[in-house]
Amino acid sequence: MIEGVRPLPDTQLWTPIRVYTGYRVLLALLLLALYLAGEPPLVGQHNPTLFLYSAGAYVALTLLSVVMKAPLYRGRRLTPVIPVISDVVMLTLMIHASGGIESSLTVLLLVTVAAASIILPGRLGLMTAALATFAVMFEQVYFALYTSASNPFQVTEAGTLGLAFFAVALITHQVAQRLARSEQLARTQHDAIRRLQSLNQQVVERMRTGILVFSDTQHIELCNRSALEFFPDARQGQLLPAALAAHFREWEATPDQPQAPLPGNRERPDLDARFAPLDSGVEDGPVYNIVFLEDRARLMQEVQQLKLASLGRMSATIAHEIRNPLSAINHAAQLLEEGIQQEEDRKLLGIIQKHVSRVNSIITDILGLSRRQSSQVARLDLSEVLAGCLNRWRESGHDPALLRIDIPTDLPRVRFDARQLDQVLDNLLTNAQRHGGPGPIEVSAGRHGQSGLPWVRVRDHGPGVSEDALDKLFEPFFTTSRDGTGLGLFLCRELCENNQARLDHEPAEPGASFVITFAHPDRVFQ
């Protein structure tokens, strides 16, 4: 065999062997039918009895090879030699019975030699050509002696046939080897493509970016796991979700313009959707588009880290430049208070001390925000978290009857930093207690039906949030209370975004309602 080319495996050799086996059966039956078809017979005229016995034996051998094909061929590289040798022998006998090598049956040996060069390994194909050459030379000599020819050793015609046998064997062998190399290359490329496809599929499935591929009819062709978290109904073969379809039409109208974020809802976060045409590599084929979906909460988390770093540098300056003068002002006010007898002057000093305390609390909140450590995300049981909130509510001296907690028992665990979640809930409860009036505070929890995202709602029954304050509700230093710092809700939203969750205000009549929508329970934070 040619060096560097692996032999065809048995599963690939089985097809040409099976074809050759069928050819042998048909050939044997055809030769027998030609003998029996007419009187005198069309073949075997020189020795009818020998031809009949040879043709019958040939039919029996070919049928036997069909019956024994599984144990004879599969897993054994050399056993195909047996039917090849039997073909050479049986065809030589029938050639002799039909009048020697001048018979038209001699050309059948060329087919046997060609088939042997394909199905036999290595140089066994050339061995078959040599065996066929020896057979026709022996037949020519024997037939000449049998018929008392004047020169029985003239083997020119047999030698020419031998050259033809070797030429056919060499050409067929080269063609078979080229086909073997081509098949091996195709098999190697197929395996490489399959591995690459498997790798691409795993990479796409594990990407944090949601990926959707859809056709020009807006039928989804591919959807990875992250995209399913955003759009649970976006399955293969389904139509593109309505929100994405509308966003896609906007992109088609102005593909060069930056797209606005895809607004979120209670079941999914705000998304950055980036569309691009996908080249299928086939001319006049279907047109595909791809959309990349990025969770803006995760992007905001990265932005937040930059903000916190900048805020940390600023807070250090604030602590040094402002706190020391504030301490001096507060101390001086206390000293003045000891020597002042008039009530009006005491009121003025009280105003000074009150505003010094307020500024100091603002600085404390800023320092706490800037020095906050990164999230230590863990799986938390909401019932245990809310039970801890109730205990802290009691320890603060509040009436437990004012806090009503109603959560189902089958909620999944949420992914959040335990200390930061306690801080967010405590801030929301403090706001509800401060602005919600004398009514009860309701804490409920649940899970969205489609997306499966868990949520917690804190609602009071106070006057609610005015229309003018809604747009500024989560801005830092915005407050509707004279004693507030305006950092409570801002800090709560920052903490939620730091844990890839959402904090939203929902309208409620009466009162105000704040909802925390947690990240998907199975999402791995990176």
Which CATH number goes with the domain that contains 218? Answer: 3.30.450.20
Tokens representing 10 are: 């048995």
Tokens representing 42 are: 């069309």
In a 10 Å sphere around its CB, with 0-12 CB exposed, 13-18 middle and 19+ buried, how is residue 317 labelled? exposed
Q: How many Cβ atoms sit within 10 Å of the Cβ of residue 225?
A: 16
Cβ contacts of 384 within 8 Å, gap of 6 or more: none
Are 274 and 382 contained in the same domain? no
Tokens representing 222 are: 């591919």
Are 133 and 104 contained in the same domain? yes
pLDDT of residue 20: 84
Indicate the number of domains in the chain: 3
Work out the end-to-end distance of the chain between its first and last CA atoms, rounded to an integer number of angstroms.
Answer: 55
With a cut of 70, list the residues of the chain below it in pLDDT.
1-14, 69-79, 146-155, 266-267, 280-285, 297-309, 311-316, 318-320, 341, 362, 365-375, 482-485, 522-526
Tokens representing 403 are: 């806090």
**In angstroms, rounded to a whole number, what is the distance separating the alpha carbons of residues 170 and 390?**
92
Are 74 and 155 contained in the same domain? yes
Question: 492-522 burial string, b = 16+ CB within 10 Å, else e?
Answer: bbbbbbbbbbbbbbeebeebbbbbbbbbbee
Are 136 and 284 contained in the same domain? no
Cβ contacts of 250 within 8 Å, gap of 6 or more: 259
C-beta separation of 330 from 353 below 8 A = yes
Cβ contacts of 378 within 8 Å, gap of 6 or more: 415, 416, 417, 418
Are 187 and 213 contained in the same domain? no
The answer to the question of residue 41 being in a domain is: yes
Are 103 and 227 contained in the same domain? no
Are 128 and 221 contained in the same domain? no
H/E stretch holding 215 reads strand 210-215
Are 468 and 383 contained in the same domain? yes
Which of 359, 351, 421 is CA-nearest to residue 387? 421
Which residue is associated with the tokens 């049928």? 63
Domain boundary among 294, 316, 349: 294
pLDDT of residue 514: 92
The answer to the question of residue 263 being in a domain is: yes
pLDDT of residue 8: 43
* 176: helix, strand or coil: helix
Are 49 and 81 contained in the same domain? yes
pLDDT of residue 515: 92
DSSP, residue by residue, 288-345: EEEEEEEEHHHHHHHHHHHHHHHHHHHHHHHIIIIIHHHHHHHHHHHHHHHH---HHH
**In angstroms, rounded to a whole number, what is the distance separating the alpha carbons of residues 426 and 416?**
15
Domain boundary among 127, 158, 192: 192
Domain boundary among 236, 260, 294: 294
Cβ contacts of 252 within 8 Å, gap of 6 or more: none
C-beta separation of 271 from 230 below 8 A = yes
Which residue is associated with the tokens 């200390």? 419
Domain containing residue 411: CATH number: 3.30.565.10
Q: How many Cβ atoms sit within 10 Å of the Cβ of residue 156?
A: 8
**In angstroms, rounded to a whole number, what is the distance separating the alpha carbons of residues 307 and 8?**
65
Range(s) of the domain holding residue 386: 376-526
Give the number of residues written for the chain: 526
pLDDT of residue 209: 84
Helix, strand, coil: what percent of the chain each, to 5?
Answer: 55, 15, 30
Are 181 and 34 contained in the same domain? yes
Are 77 and 219 contained in the same domain? no
Are 414 and 440 contained in the same domain? yes
pLDDT of residue 177: 84
pLDDT of residue 349: 80
pLDDT of residue 375: 64
The answer to the question of residue 318 being in a domain is: no
Tokens representing 329 are: 């002002």
pTM across the whole model: 0.45
C-beta separation of 180 from 5 below 8 A = yes
The answer to the question of residue 343 being in a domain is: no
